A and B are shown apart, each in its own frame.
Chain A
Amino acid sequence: MHRRIHSREDIIVDSLACLIGLIFLLLTGIPFLHVLSKAFSSETALIANRVTIIPSGFQTGTIRHVLTSPMFIHSFLHSVLVTVSGTLLSVVVTAMAGYALSKRTLPWMKGITVIFVFTMWFNGGMVPRYLLMSQLQLTNTFWALILPAAISVYNLLLVKNYCETIPSSLEESAWIDGAGQARTLFTIVIPLSYPVLATITLFMAVSLWNDYYNPMIYITRSSMKTLQVYLRDIIVESQSDTTMISTDDINLLPEGVRAASIIASTVPILLIYPFLQKYLIKGIMIGAVKG
């Protein structure tokens, strides 16, 4: 917005907006900075409660302890496995179906879309789902987390809406040139759909990585914990337990270990955040505003 005239009111509103913006900035930032500082503060500083939003008595022993602890590594790798394979499966299946559903003029496509969308509004619920999974003998396997991710109706609609905006003349000209439907898909449609494919990839990856609910229900074997489940155990334990964990060179407080574990499990999210920003906001627009 261009504002050339600066009245007194403009200055008041501008500075008020900046001030409230700053409050939001701090409200969001301080909690995270606090945990970050705790992860890198010495245990004496933690006991004395000297840690605010900058590390006190900087040390990296806690984070090294977390990153080398077998339980953390295992649950981290479990989450990586589920996230990577679930996302791959989901993107392929969802993108294929979303493209097909964008051909609205073909017979029965609208009816099929309704069959998909209905499941957004009505579902069997937790217990029948759990019983189905045990019947299929998927409980206590990572398949219980990966396979249901194959179809996300929300992502499906994103792809469908996006593909509807691709001019059909592009595909028709490819057909005239003798390319089959499959080839048209790979040479014309997919390259044009990178933004929406990136969007659903990130959506799926974030939701699989952050999922606590499904692993908690379907994975009961403690050797198969995913990261979020392991992390919650640490957080709950740290609240009641204040005894020191002694390792070779350093004494660790459960509080510090908790903070370092939180930081270590958030790093993947923060690393891809620039991409998340770029694509997800576009993606949510495609979803919210009918294209």
Chain B
Amino acid sequence: MQSGTMKWRKKWRIAVRNRQIYLLLLPALIALAVFQYGPMWGLQIAFRDYSIFRDISDSPWVGLKYFQRLFASPSFFRVLRNTVIISTYKIIFLFPMGVFIALLLNEIPFVTYKKAVQTMVYVPHFFSWVVVYGIFTSLLSSTGLVNQFLLHLTGNRYNFLSNPNNFRAVLVFTAGWKECGWNAIVFIAAIAGIDQEIFEAAQIDGASRLRRIISITLPSIMPTIMLMLILRIGNLLTAGTEQILVMYNAVVYDVSDVLGTYIYRMGIGKMEYSMSTAVGLFESVVGFGLVITGNALSRRFSASIW
């Protein structure tokens, strides 16, 4: 006990001596307390009958009422299902694309051409979702460029943007267009870190190009691939709320309404604050569990992620 106090006093003295350093943390801590931890305090309205006409602390406790209602509502499960489906599609189709682009760039023999492709595929990452939506509206609308081709080829137009049958595919494709190039960066870095002598030795031993990709490049970046994949799966509940809020419309709600958009329409739109906070809390808790599990797993592949 005595030594504990001594230790604490010693720490305190060091801290006081370096008070200027701690002072630098102050604005960030205030912002964090207000805008990050503040909303966490508000999470209690998931367990209260909150209304805007009274304070949070004046609202009566209702226990798990909203969670019971939630788990009894079919729309919640539809939304949860959409979230997992869209997110899974994005992992299955887009995650390998990042690896593929990195491998591809590594095989392009002309440096200038390689740089040009690389520069180009990064660009869409810096466009907003609204701009991406605008670009693809121009391409996919009934009078858009793609439908011009289809009209020539098949004589029919195809409805892409308000068709429940393919709207998820539109979401996955546009997300890929925007982010795949950018997602390749970390794999490009991993490939750049491979010892060139291994390639040269393999070449002398007569290993073919394809052989070298399969037996050297891929295994060398496998830890990075596994790490990124685990982290991505840890974010399973992030299906792309902002993208969907920008791109969806009432016709495709059934197939594209995800947790984030559902919370928005119920909470901000219909002002069902307690109910939508319950959905949000569910999302946060499950998401937290997944991320923590993912990080714990990823430590097996790499020392730490930060």
Taking Cβ atoms with an 8 Å cutoff, the residues of A that contact B are 1, 3, 5, 9-10, 13-14, 17-18, 20-22, 24-25, 27-29, 31-32, 34-35, 38, 49, 52, 92-94, 96-97, 99-101, 103, 106-108, 112, 115-117, 119, 121-132, 136, 147-148, 150-151, 156-157, 161, 180-182, 185, 206, 209-213, 216-217, 228-229, 231-232, 235, 238-239, 255, 258-259, 261-262, 265-266, 269-270, 273, 276-277, 281, 284-285, 288-290
Contacts and interface: CB of A to CB of B under 8 A. Distances in A.
Interface residues of B, number: 97
Interface in B150-189: 161, 177, 181, 185-186, 189
B120 A25 contact: yes
Contact of B129 (A10, A148, A210): A210
A132 B196 CA distance: 55
Interface string B290-306: 01100000000001111
B201 interface: no
Contact of A124 (B32, B43, B186): B43
B281 A25 contact: no
B108 A21 contact: yes
A197 B263 CA distance: 35
Nearest to A18: B108
B299 to A, nearest CB: 12
Interface of B: 11-12, 14-15, 18, 20-22, 24-25, 27-29, 31-32, 34-43, 45, 101, 104-110, 113-114, 116-117, 119-124, 126-131, 133-139, 141, 143, 145, 148, 161, 177, 181, 185-186, 189, 196, 199, 203, 208-210, 241-242, 245-246, 260, 263-264, 267-268, 273, 276-277, 280-281, 283-284, 287-288, 291-292, 303-306
Contacts of B139: 31, 34
Contacts of A35: 134-135, 138
Contacts of B109: 3, 14, 17-18
Contacts of B122: 277, 281
Interface centre among A116, A156, A213, A273 (most CB of B within 10 A): A213
A60 B17 CA distance: 64
A28 B181 contact: yes
Contact of A231 (B130, B141, B242): B130
Contacts of A232: 130, 133, 246
Given A151-B32, A290-B306, A101 B113 contact: no
Contacts of B145: 34, 52
Contacts of B18: 103, 106, 181
Contact of B35 (A22, A49, A131, A151): A151
Contacts of A216: 245
Contacts of B104: 17, 20-21, 24
A17 B31 contact: no
A231 B40 CA distance: 32
A213 B245 contact: yes
The 9 A-B pairs with the shortest beta carbon distances in the complex, nearest first, are A124-B39, A125-B280, A128-B42, A210-B128, A97-B28, A107-B11, A150-B31, A127-B267, A17-B107
A96 B28 contact: yes
B186 A126 contact: no
Contact of A290 (B276, B291, B303): B303
Contact of A239 (B116, B141, B273): B141
Given A31-B139, A116-B32, A290-B303, A1 B126 contact: no
Given A52-B145, A285-B189, A124 B38 contact: yes
Given A17-B107, A17-B108, A24-B101, A269 B113 contact: no
Contacts of A239: 137, 141, 161
Nearest to A32: B135
Contacts, number: 277
A130 B35 contact: no
A5 B203 CA distance: 10
Main SS class of interface, A: helix
Contacts of B135: 31-32, 34-35, 262
Given A125-B284, A212-B245, A108 B130 contact: no
B43 A212 contact: no
17 contacts: A9-B210, A18-B109, A21-B108, A24-B104, A38-B138, A93-B31, A96-B24, A112-B25, A112-B29, A122-B287, A125-B43, A125-B280, A126-B280, A127-B45, A128-B280, A262-B135, A289-B189
Given A25-B120, A49-B143, A130-B267, A125 B128 contact: no
Contacts of B208: 9
A130 B38 CA distance: 11
B24 A97 contact: yes
A233 to B, nearest CB: 10
A273 B123 contact: yes
A238 to B, nearest CB: 8
Contacts of B134: 35, 231, 235, 258-259, 261-262
A28 B123 contact: yes
Contacts of B189: 285, 288-289
A210 B28 contact: no
Nearest to B211: A9
Given A14-B107, A28-B181, A103 B21 contact: yes
